[in-house]
Each structure stands twice: as C-alpha cells, then as structure tokens.
A and B are shown apart, each in its own frame.
Chain A
C-alpha cells in the first residue's frame, strides 16, 4: 500500500517529466535559433536548481532551514575551478568537488547539528559568513576577484564528448545531472531512512522513541545536502569560466531559499520549478529595470503569507485527490511550518 508520501513523490515525478520536456523544447529552440545567451541562462537556472534541491532536502523534509547552503555550493565551485586549472577533466573535477563538499559538510554538520530550529538557521548563516569572508580575503584564491580564466573543457560521457562551450550540449549535460540528483534524493526519501527524515519534520521529539537517532539522521541529511550543493556548484565554473566569493554569499543562499519556497518546500520537484521561475522573473524584469529584487521580495512575501505551500505544494494535492476518498482532506507533506519549538 502506498502512503501519502509515495503518492506525492509519484506526482512529483510526473511534473519532473513535464519539466524535462519543457527543458528539451527550450534546448531545441535554443539550438535552432542559435541563441546561446538564453541557453546559458537556462543552464544557470538548472545549477541554481541543484542548490535549491539541497535546501529543500533540509527544509522540506527534515524541517531545518539553512541560510548558509551556498557555502557548500561555493566549496564545490572553487574546488572544481582549482582542479580544472590543473587538468581539464570533468570527472576529476566533479569527484574532487564531491569529496571536498562531503568533507566540509561533515565538519559543518558536526558544528551546526549541535543546535536546533532557529539556532540551526543562525549557525549555518554564521558558518557560511566566516568561510565566505576567509575566501574573500585569501589572495591565493583570488580574494574578492575570485578565480578567472578557467579553461573550457570537453566532457566525456561514455563514447560521446560534449564541449562545455557548446550551449546546447552543456545544457543537456547539466539537465541530466540535475535529474540524477533529483532521482537520488527521491529514491532516498522512499527508503526507510527517508521516512525517518520526514518523521523529524513532523515531530522530532518522538523519533528517539521509535529507536532512531535524531542526530545521525540530521547529520546524514546535512552531509547529503552539502554534497548535492557542492556537485551543483562544481558545474558553475564550467559554465561561466570563473568563480567568485559571490557564490558563497548570503544572497546566493537566500536565492535558493526563495526558489524552494516559491516552488513549494517538501515537493522536491518544486525546487526545480522555483529556480526556473526565479531566474525567468529576474531576467524578464531585468530587461527593463535592474531593480528586480523589489518584485522578487514582494512575490516572496506574498507567497509566504498567502501560499505557504508554494507552487507545487498547491498543484500536487489536486492530483492526489481520488474520487473514492473525497472526504479525506489531503495533506501533502509540504509546508513552511517546520520543526518543533526552539529550546
């Protein structure tokens, strides 16, 4: 028998297919018209979606809001940039970035998981600011300028080879990559461990009574989220050819949080839609004024006040309702109302 969670994940998969179909159409249009600017922008939206996925794993499933998730995104980006400067190997860069973000998220998790709720949010913010400032002031890492001049690489997948300079090809590579990340997280949430994470969000105090370690579950979720963010970040220098401290900044972290909440926290696919929505709004408004933050901020507040479940959190329950159970008020496990009270 399938429960709420499985069914909502299935609907989420359907929306992922729709998302991919739209992305493929966009890629085809981009390839035919040769408009590389919008393909590059779309690729950036997908990379942001990776960061948003990592925020959603923490916020939407374990109920912990991180305002410093860009830290691991930045770690992935910098490590990938440093590796690419030495050797132009896609797989080496990705595995180095994955390992570095795994290690840093483990250390960060040891620090951040000592506290709960709002203190967790503040400690993640503080951590990312400490490391962000250190990177900003380290001359070996390019200080405030970041690292520029990262060579364009060829990505070898099986027998094929895609150049990162090819907008359509690289867009597809990133799309596949983000879908793999999505799939891995969706699979994880269907395992018993995934249910422990959801239990954390519902009622953290009861989880130990069921025989699970809260700390262990939180730690694993945090490290996984860090790796997802790091791997997404590793794609960034391949796209833009540079990295800068801006990638670890608070605005990067808050962008991801905004994307997750607009798309719908706890729906997984909402993170993807939210990121694309955010980038689309930014570029549409940005074409006639540079003051897009007013609109984003207003939309964000409006969404929290009136649609706290976000875009997907509103759509998915509609597909979950079956005629046979119209009396049950379907509760999709998506809400911004998160973990229990503070200590």
Chain B
C-alpha cells in the first residue's frame, strides 16, 4: 500500500474517529474537572450521569422527539438532578474533616444506586439510537461520516461556550472567585451555595450532553459509564484537576493516543495504555499539566 493511500484510508479516518471520541470525552472530563476545581469533589457518579444522558436520549427518541430537541432538552432536564444531588447529598458532607474522601464515598454510593436504577428501568441489554443524519462528506479525499462531523462541531461549540462563560463573563468570575476563596466571595454578597449547586448541575449536564452525542455511535447499556469514566478521570488527571484548558488538551491527546495505538496493537490494549498514563502522571506530576480553576 502506498503511503498516501495509508494516510487517506487508514490513518486519517482513525484520527477523525479519535477526534469525535476525544470531543465527547472532553465534555465529560470538563464537567468532572470544574466540579473538582470549584467544589473539591471527586464525582464518582459522573459516569452514571453520562449514562443517564444516553438513556434519556433513548427514551425521548422513543417518544418521537427530534434529535436536536433532545440535544438541548436532556442536559436541561439533568440540571435539576445535579442541583438535587449537590443540595441533598454533597452539601451534607461538604464540611467534614476530609471533604475529598467523604464526598467521594457519597458519590460512589450514588453511582451504585443510579446504575441499578438504570438497569431496573431499561433492563441489562444494550440499546441503540439511530443517528439523525447519515452519509459522509469528503475532505481532501478523506471520507468523514456526517454525524461525527456534527458531533465535533457541537462539542467544540459547547467547549468554547463553557470556557467563554468561565473566563470572560461576570458569572464565570463569580465561579472562579468562589473556587479561589469561598468566604471572601461569600462576603462580597455572592450566593456561594447556589454557585456550587449550579456548577455541579452544569457538570452533570455536560456529562448528559456527551451521553446524548455518543448514543448514536456506541451501544447504550447501564454500565456504560464505568469504562468511560476512567478515561475521563485519566483526562482530568493528565490535564490537571480543575483545569479547563488541561481537560481539552489531555482529552484530545489521550484519545488520539488510543486511536493511533489501535492501528499498531490490538485495540483492547489501548485502555491499559491510557490508564498507565494516568498512573504515571499521578506519580510524577499529580497536579497535571495545568493548574486548577481560579488558581492560575
């Protein structure tokens, strides 16, 4: 095979598949990382929120709703869930002696419940969602499936919007201030409690959005969050816990490593590689590539 053919028919499609997955992983990781950056909470139930997003798309799709409506509706419906989880569960252990461990354990318990609820409602089998658009477009001789292109565009748009709100608006300044110094922010009259609940809700909605976007590409089943969340954790750790830029860069880089490595070795071995990257970063640079939200 010619080198140009290899690039056109093997390498580039793989890069684009990796890019589509990378954008979705980044969305999930973004939620995880802002929740950690602001609330100092490792959300172990984040993968289940991702699964709820995908199942929400299945349910609403069965009602005959348009995919575009779902794309907006599912994250909106999930926001109250996030507020509820933060107000009812996380807030209660937020001021305990070791916040990290206590909140991690509570969200771990929540993930057990959510996963089983999904299994109860939808059964253990896999579901599939039809892509709203089919076909493929050609760019410089490389065929790109239209749906993946759409996913990339929507994802990039959302990521840009989140960074814009965080770094360029008054609301984002409030969030960053609350992450930096809680009591000072509170004394300036900012309702820090609601900033926390809102941020948690946004994180959860982002996971739900990623679930909707990936539902047409991968099969949907109750434990789908488990493997995916480890990938998202790896992204968050490599990028730096609490860093938005870090999540984007690490999300794209790690999924490219996965996509390209699977050309050389069996795809089943790419997961251990990505998780090893997480372990190595934790060993030598636990703060990740970039610093955390509000601290840099």
Contacts and interface: CB of A to CB of B under 8 A. Distances in A.
Interface string A56-70: 000000010100000
B97 A337 contact: yes
Contact of B96 (A65, A293, A300, A308): A308
Contacts of B272: 130, 133-134, 137
B45 to A, nearest CB: 10
B93 A305 contact: yes
Given A65-B104, A126-B234, A305-B89, A297 B109 contact: yes
A122 B108 contact: no
Contact of B113 (A117, A122, A298): A298
Contact of A118 (B104, B120, B226, B230): B104
A336 B98 CA distance: 8
Nearest to B223: A251
B97 A338 contact: yes
B190 interface: no
A297 B112 contact: yes
Interface string A121-158: 11101110110011011000000000000000000000
A123 B281 CA distance: 9
Nearest to A298: B113
A89 interface: no
Chain A interface size range: 35 or more
Interface in B107-123: 108-113, 115-117, 119-120
Given A336-B102, A338-B97, A301 B109 contact: yes
Nearest to B269: A137
B16 interface: no
B262 to A, nearest CB: 13
A162 interface: no
A77 interface: no
A277 interface: no
B243 to A, nearest CB: 15
A122 B32 CA distance: 14
B112 to A, nearest CB: 3
A342 interface: yes
A278 B115 CA distance: 18
B112 A304 contact: no
A63 B97 CA distance: 12
B103 to A, nearest CB: 10
Contact of B116 (A111, A122, A291, A342): A291
Interface string A156-195: 0000000000000000000000000000000000000000
Contacts of A291: 116, 119-120
A305 B106 contact: yes
A184 B106 CA distance: 31
A343 interface: yes
B42 A335 contact: no
B264 interface: no
A339 B92 CA distance: 19
B117 A294 contact: yes
Interface string B20-56: 0000000000000000000000100000000000000
B268 interface: yes
A111 B279 contact: yes
Contacts of B111: 297
B65 interface: no
Interface of A: 63, 65, 111, 114-115, 117-119, 121-123, 125-127, 129-130, 133-134, 136-137, 250, 254, 257-258, 261, 291-294, 296-298, 300-301, 304-305, 308, 335-340, 342-343
9 contacts: A121-B104, A122-B233, A123-B283, A293-B113, A294-B117, A297-B112, A305-B92, A308-B96, A336-B98
Interface of B: 42, 89, 92-93, 96-98, 100-102, 104-106, 108-113, 115-117, 119-120, 226, 230, 233-234, 237, 266, 268-269, 271-272, 275-276, 278-279, 282-284, 286-287
Given A126-B234, A133-B275, 7 more contacts: A122-B237, A130-B272, A130-B276, A297-B111, A301-B106, A305-B89, A337-B98
